[in-house]
Amino acid sequence: MATKIEGQPETKRRRWPAISLRTAFLLLTILCIWLGVVVSAARRQERIVRRVEELGGRVEYDYEWDSDVRGQLDWQGTGGVGPAPEPAGPRWLRNLVGKHYFCNVVYVYLRDAPEVDDELVADIGHLSELHRLGLNNCPKVTDAGIEQLPVSLPLIALDVEGTAISDAGVAHASRFKKLEQLYIRRTNATAKCSRFIQDIEHLDRIGIEEDVMPDVEVEELRKSIPSLRVVR
């Protein structure tokens, strides 16, 4: 039995806040829901990436681009120096569960892929950090596919050249207010699409044929978008 020494201050025991069983269960439920969301998103991204690559496309991740997704980071594989960038998180854990828990796809590019359809485009729309999407020469992509892309996507570049979209598809694309580049050559878009294009306030480059949008209409469009550059 410990003997109290006279004059020695009493040591107060730290009391931890009591947590009821109900509170503990609630916290555990919230944690399980959060883990479920994380796991579901990572697995979905992995599945989409696998499908894109099976069709000859490519994807790039946030850790490979600068913070505002305007250019790839310089490293040995892109003409720069130094090692390749890596996702966040410890390497051993990435090797264990896969890198899709630690990074987001920001760029998807598919070209000359007749198998790509609206269903896949809608699936790609689940990539919540997607900044750039290329669907060049994918003839099965229609207005319906562009419509299914959620407006919450932070898209700054969209290439739908050689697809089956029409003016309605351009209207759907105009919902992305951060869009800076839009390429719609070799589509079913007509001169009527200009009224949708002028609603994209940050647009600075558009790929469109002269017979769809003659120079005189381009100049008219530049009244609302002064910095607009046209790629013929």
Question: In this predicted model, what pLDDT tens digit does every residue of 68-114 receive, in sequence order?
Answer: 777 777 765 666 666 788 898 899 999 999 999 999 999 999 999 99
**Structural domains counted in the chain:** 1
Half-sphere exposure in the Cβ direction for 84 (13 Å, CA): 8
pLDDT score, position 2? 54
Residues 75, 53: Cα–Cα separation, whole Å: 23
Please check whether residue 10 lies inside any domain of the structure.
no
12 within some domain: no
How much is the pLDDT for 85? Answer: 86
* Integer angstrom CA distances of residue 135 from 27, 83, 184, 185, 194: 43, 30, 10, 12, 21
pLDDT above 60 for 3: no
Query: Which residues are paired to 107 by β-bridges?
Result: 60, 132
Q: Answer whether residue 15 is part of any domain.
A: no
Residue 221's domain is classified under what CATH number? 3.80.10.10
Domain assignment present for residue 2? The answer is no
37-51, 81-95, 123-137, 184-198: range with lowest mean pLDDT: 81-95
Question: pLDDT confidence of 4, banded at 50, 70, 90?
Answer: low
Lowest mean pLDDT segment, chosen from 4-8, 114-118, 163-167, 176-180: 4-8
Residue 22 corresponds to which tokens in the numbers above?
């109900």
Which pLDDT score is estimated for 84?
A: 80
194 secondary structure, DSSP code? H
Pairing of strands 229-231, 205-207: parallel
Question: Residue 63 sits in which domain range?
Answer: 21-231
**Residue 13 covered by a domain:** no
* pTM of the predicted protein model: 0.85
**3 within domain boundaries:** no
Domain-embedded: residue 224? yes
Poorest-pLDDT segment among 29-43, 122-136, 202-216: 29-43
pLDDT (tens digit, 9 = 90+) per residue, 23-45? Answer: 888 888 888 888 888 889 999 99
Q: Does residue 106 lie in a domain region?
A: yes
